[in-house]
Amino acid sequence: MRKILLTVLGVLFIVAAIFVAKFLIDNKNKVKPVAPKVIKLVFADTVKNSTIPIVIPANGNLTAKRRFELYAEVEGIFKSGSVLFKAGQPYKKGQTLIRIEDSEYYASVQSAKSDLYNSIAAIMADLRLDFPEVFPKWEAYLRSFDLNKATPKLPEMSSEKENYFITGRSIVSNYFNVKNLEQRLSKYMIRTPFDGILTEALVNEGTLIRSGQKLGEFIDPSVYEMEVAISKSFASLLQVGESVALNNLEGTEAYTGKVSRVNGSVDVTTQTIQVFIEVKDEKLKEGMYLEANVEAKDEENAIEIDRNLLLDTKEIFVVRDSVLDVIPVKPIHFSDTKVVLKDVPDGSVIVSRPIQGGYSGMLVKIFTEQESKKN
């Protein structure tokens, strides 16, 4: 029985070994599956060099081109007028802005004018006798003298003797004293030099105004200027009178200005140059914040792409026979989102959107309208 059992086990072992050997031989002859190559879809554009305008973005606040600050040069009570002295109040040219009580000072001016008149009248008899040839002009001067009007200019001296005689009677010194008083009297009333609007009012009617006190600010709202800082590298390219596109921060309003002035010096700290842009529009207000696009120059044989497509090595991706490659380029100008490049051959197929994990030699397929419909 033992021999029979061993014989049966041996036969079974041999049969099992045959089946295992056959299985291993069959599996060895099978071809292992090849992993499929991954082809990435990319967006691409065909290069066509053209003339690209170099636009310099800038921003700033509007200020009135014509403005002046109101200061008092005399003291007195602020008298009320026909128009309230309030911020936002419009005025016409020549209209009274501020009138300060001047009755006391006006009386002193009239007294000085009267003294001048009397001193001239006192010498008329001597002039008739000693200088009959000049008597008529001084007589005409006295007749034109009006205490309620500005003092007329003294007659021209025709000889040294006349000059010595008139000066010796203190008439010339009295005349200039009167003119000085009249000049100061005019400071009690401030008139508008142009049509405009009061933007700041720091005093009210009835208050005491002191010499040197600031009273307010007055501007011409028809013309504004915006000061912007431009890199010194574009200083030679900016031209006075050049058109500038402006818009508000929301992008809902667009305006057109022009370069009115370019500073002749460069800021040593920022290495920028001041440029003043003039703009006119009824919708504008002083203090508004605007964005400007100043056209510096036109770059020929260049292209413009997104900044994130330019590699740190100053190269960009191109597609050649479904394979990703890189070519060197020459950046000319950078803006916030764009870069202007040169040395990119016409007809080159460049990648137009960033590729995550892209590298030279990667298999790619250009994204087409058919691919878009499939998706």
Same domain flag for 286 and 305:
no
Same domain flag for 244 and 363:
no
Q: Dig out the tokens for 364 from the structure.
A: 């790619």
Q: Which of 134, 161, 186 is the last residue of a domain?
A: 186
Same domain flag for 267 and 151:
no
Cα first-last separation, the chain? 75
Let me know if residue 12 belongs to a domain. Answer: no
Let me know if residue 13 belongs to a domain. Answer: no
Same domain flag for 79 and 204:
yes
Let me know if residue 315 belongs to a domain. Answer: yes
Q: 46: domain CATH number?
A: 2.40.420
Output the pLDDT for position 371: 52
- Residue segments in the chain with a per-residue pLDDT below the cut of 70: 1, 24, 26-37, 369-375
**Structural contact between residues 37 and 339, judged by C-beta atoms closer than 8 angstroms:** no
Let me know if residue 153 belongs to a domain. Answer: yes
Same domain flag for 107 and 182:
yes
Q: 235: domain CATH number?
A: 2.40.30.170
Regarding beta strands 364-366 and 40-42, do their DSSP bridges make them parallel or antiparallel, or are they unpaired? parallel
Same domain flag for 154 and 263:
no
Q: Residue 140 in 3-state DSSP?
A: helix
Same domain flag for 166 and 215:
no
Same domain flag for 293 and 304:
no
The answer for residues whose C-beta is within 8 angstroms of residue 153's C-beta and 6 or more apart is: none
Please name which of 322, 229, 239 lies closest in space to residue 269, comparing C-alpha atoms.
Answer: 229
Output the pLDDT for position 116: 94
Same domain flag for 210 and 255:
no
Same domain flag for 227 and 210:
no
Output the pLDDT for position 214: 95
Number of domains forming the structure of the chain: 4
Output the pLDDT for position 3: 72
Output the pLDDT for position 33: 54
Decide: pTM greater than 0.75. no
Domain that holds residue 353: 42-53+300-374
Output the pLDDT for position 7: 76
Angle formed by the axes of helices 135-144 and 103-122, to 10°? 160
Output the pLDDT for position 104: 92
Let me know if residue 74 belongs to a domain. Answer: yes
